[in-house]
Amino acid sequence: MHNTTVMLIELGAIILGLGLLGRLAGRVGFSPIPLYLLGGLAFGHGGFLPLTASEEFTATGAEIGVILLLLLLGLEYSASELVTSLKTQYPSGAVDFVLNAVPGAAAALLLGWGPVAAVALAGVTWISSSGVIAKVLGDFGRLGNRETPVVLGILVIEDLAMALYLPILTALLAGVSLAGGALTLLISLGTVGAVLYLALRHGRVISRAVSSDSAEMLLLVVLGLTLLVAGIAQELQVSAAVGAFLVGIALSGEVAEGASTLLTPLRDLFAAVFFVFFGLSTDPADIPPVLASALVLAIVTTLTKIATGWYAARRAGIRSAGRWRAGGALVARGEFSIVIAGLAVGVEPRIGPLATAYVLILVLLGPVAARWTEPVAARLTRRPVPPAPAAMPAAERIDPARTAR
């Protein structure tokens, strides 16, 4: 009884603290992710007041948070949108991977962490934060800008690439053999291909089977199906997150919209718990030794992300100002970097503190880069800053509901 009482008190304090931190971040105008991480650091191992009674529950909540993050992300896209993005944006996606994954891999090797840690840190530096970027684009009124579809296209490719990257990383972290890793990759490729095919050919049938006029029934069926598929995927070493992502892709139309509306508050709650848990499991004393490395890595990958956006916008025929805006918008890292680091800390514990410091830097720098990259580039190239571009016609605008992740 005493342990249960302490757990409820700690859990209530955590959730209340998350709410207050989220309100503070909203008033200041930036993502609450760094505040969640700092809160976890303050009350985790080595913090001011370690919370231990609720640790097991928080760990389970963190797992659910990752699953819901990927499910909601999958609900954002239809299979046809993913296929179209792959056909049109794959050169930009390849440049994005090379420019931003290589610095992370090189840093891990230079630090002597080994090849498996190099693969993990490559993912940490490669994937932009779609949630932070979507919020920044909305806050700056750029959802109708002509460079915005380019930014979203790169994010879509990164998100889809996670369906292949995470199983590979999971297999490497589990220490499976080359044959076992190849088998895991084949299973992942087969699963992704099968889900895309079913979603393209029979998506309406799947959505009709899940659909319900009752919000309660829809919530229970979608959430239960997601957790079931995530567990089976985990058992096959394909990654629970990937399983959740594929469930989201398979659902479309009104079912996807209804499920997204119902699950978004749950996603926000458990995702916040995930970030707090990551901070709780990181000792603040481990951060100063890696802070310089995180800062250098943040500077390098800020420049490489700007270069990525500039290249992708240039391929799309966007003018110079839009190219710089696209590059600045891609700088922020966040949820996926923490997810990858959370998987890898069992093999290389120092990845956790480095990823925490790295994400804290770039989640704060992201909105600044999105706002000032284009004016600074204009000043350096000695050209006048053009007026804000005319927004697209209403029929061509990006729907904010589809970009908020």
Q: What is the DSSP string of 315-333?
A: HTT--HHHHHHHHHHT---
Q: Is residue 128 scored above 80 in pLDDT?
A: yes
| pLDDT reported for residue 304 | 97
What is the spatial distance between Cα 178 and Cα 267, in angstroms, rounded to a whole number? 36
Q: Which residue has the tokens 């008033």?
A: 27
Handedness of CA 357, 48, 265, 199 (dihedral sign): positive
Q: Is residue 341 scored above 80 in pLDDT?
A: yes
**How far, CA to CA in Å, does 189 sit from each of 54, 72, 123, 164, 207?**
38, 21, 19, 7, 23
Nearest to 136 by CA among 322, 321, 371: 371
- Single-letter amino acid, residue 56: E
- Single-letter amino acid, residue 35: L
Give 46-69 as a DSSP string: TSSS---TTHHHHHHHHHHHHHHH
What is the spatial distance between Cα 221 and Cα 216, in angstroms, rounded to a whole number? 9
Nearest to 333 by CA among 33, 21, 13, 4: 33
CB 233 within 8 A of CB 239: yes
Mean pLDDT, all residues of the chain: 81
What is the spatial distance between Cα 178 and Cα 172, in angstroms, rounded to a whole number? 9
How many helices and strands in the chain, by DSSP H and E? 16, 0
Q: At what angle do helices 130-139 and 351-380 cross, to 10 degrees?
A: 30
What is the spatial distance between Cα 245 and Cα 381, in angstroms, rounded to a whole number? 42
Encoded tokens for 403: 């970009």
pLDDT band at 401 (very low <50, low <70, confident <90, very high): very low
What CATH code would you report for 35-403? Answer: 1.20.1530.20
Average pLDDT over every residue of 268-287: 80
pLDDT band at 24 (very low <50, low <70, confident <90, very high): confident
Handedness of CA 42, 48, 54, 59 (dihedral sign): positive
Q: Is residue 403 scored above 50 in pLDDT?
A: no
Q: Is residue 26 scored above 60 in pLDDT?
A: yes
What is the spatial distance between Cα 405 and Cα 264, in angstroms, rounded to a whole number? 9
Q: Which residue has the higher pLDDT, 275 or 99?
A: 99
What is the spatial distance between Cα 312 and Cα 92, in angstroms, rounded to a whole number? 5
Per-residue model confidence as pLDDT tens digits over 129-168: 876 787 788 777 787 788 888 887 888 788 778 777 887 8
What are φ and ψ of residue 382, in 5° steps? 55, 45
